Amino acid sequence: MIDRTQPVYPQIREILRARIRAGEYAPGTGMPSVLVVAAEFDVAASTVQRAMADLRADGLIITWSGRGSHVADPLPPAEA
C-alpha cells in the first residue's frame, strides 16, 4: 500500500484524506490515534503527525489537547 521508494508522509496524508472523504471516518467522529496509524503503516509516529498536520491545515481534522483529533463537521468542500 505504501511505496517506500517515495516520501511516505504524503502517501499517508492522501490515504487518510480519502478515508475521510469516503466517510470511513465520519464528520464529528474521532480519528485513530497517531500510534494506531503509525502501527498500521509501520512508520514512525512523527511521520503520521506530519501527515495529520497537513489534514489540520486543510481543515479536514480538528485536534484538541487531551481529546485527540476529530474529523471536521462539516467537512470543507473537496478540491476540484
CA atoms within 13 A on the CB side of 26: 1
**Residue 35 within a domain:** yes
**Residue 19 within a domain:** yes
Q: Following DSSP, what letter does each residue of 33-64 receive, concatenated?
A: PHHHHHHHHT--HHHHHHHHHHHHHTTSEEEE
The answer to whether the Cα torsion of 50, 53, 57, 58 is positive or negative is: positive
User: Residue 80 — pLDDT band, cuts 50, 70, 90?
Assistant: low
**Residue 78 within a domain:** no
Quick: pLDDT tens for 11-54.
999 999 999 999 999 999 999 999 999 999 999 999 999 999 99
Task: Report the CATH number at residue 14.
Answer: 1.10.10.10
The pairing of beta strand 61-64 with beta strand 68-71:
antiparallel
Tell me if 43 sits within 8 A of 12, measured CB to CB: yes
Candidates 15, 70, 66; CA nearest to 38 is 15
State pTM to two decimals. 0.91
